[in-house]
Structure 1
Amino acid sequence: MHFSKLILAVVALTWVSTTDALLPFATPALILGGLAVLKGAAIFTLIGGPFKGKRSADDALAREQSEAALLSTVENLDPSGCILKLLCHLQFKEESTRTPEENTLVQMFSGKAEGLTSQSAAFVFAAEIGSKNKDAAVCEKYFNKCPYTSDEVGNLLHQSWGCNNPSV
């Protein structure tokens, strides 16, 4: 997909999300968009971003800014905190029963309190809440704006990161 088409899709989804009558239909699409951007952040992190080889201080700053922009986009696409709710729930799911997508998401934010940025704070917080409490009720309490269950958001994760086509 061309970058300009992606930007156009994000703008359209953001516009649709501001229309109250369409919000119930737009929310899964926005969550999917947020998860897709998060997948981009995961890939960006795994491959080291566009800065390969010898890294300078400028490269490190550009990398941090790129990651911050990606996480900020995810937050804007998921104002209900459904991705945070999923991240919280995944912390106490047995690692052997998690999908590769779920493991990647957990690894991105677990134990990252020392490298905390303003953009990653909410994700790290969600991971910390889940790993410390290991209780679904606590995740539901903290992320109660999300109208979907963690299983439904998990299906969206698999749909956006994998090749499955589950529905919400």
Structure 2
Amino acid sequence: MARKRKKKEKLRGRRTHGKGDTKNKRGGGSRGGCGRAGSKKHKLMLFRDEEKKQALKPKEKPRAISLNELEKILAKLELEKKLSVEDGFVIVDGKVLGFGKILSNGVIKRKIKLINAKTSKKAYEKIIAAGGVVIDKEKTAGMEEQNANSKDK
């Protein structure tokens, strides 16, 4: 099997190794400086598009709490008499309480009406089983279809 010779080996005995005059292969000075030197002056064309690049901000994840934590928060609000009740449902607003998602760890005992917060699949099922309601257009739409399909079977 033929092996490809390295460029260094090919150029042995050729005096300049493809660099032209012997002066041309010296340090960074022969290239107008090292690195970003001259990026605003004599090497402007090489760095022209670099100024336009912008870093992306990391996507913010919503703060997630479990059903256990939610139950504790509701108990604390009940002691402070700050719970809002409407038609027998305790109103839980994710924006007001400072969370964006509810996870299924734990048990919920109250009938809650969840607004402005997403839920995991199991948390959604537990809230519905406790007699609660989830109002979130993004998450609820798919869940209601799944529940309707499962009840038909």
**TM-score, normalised with respect to structure 2:** 0.30
Identify, as 1 or 2, the structure richer in strand: 2
**Larger RCO (alpha carbons 8 Å, 6+ apart):** 1
Identify, as 1 or 2, the structure richer in helix: 1
Higher radius of gyration, 1 or 2? 2
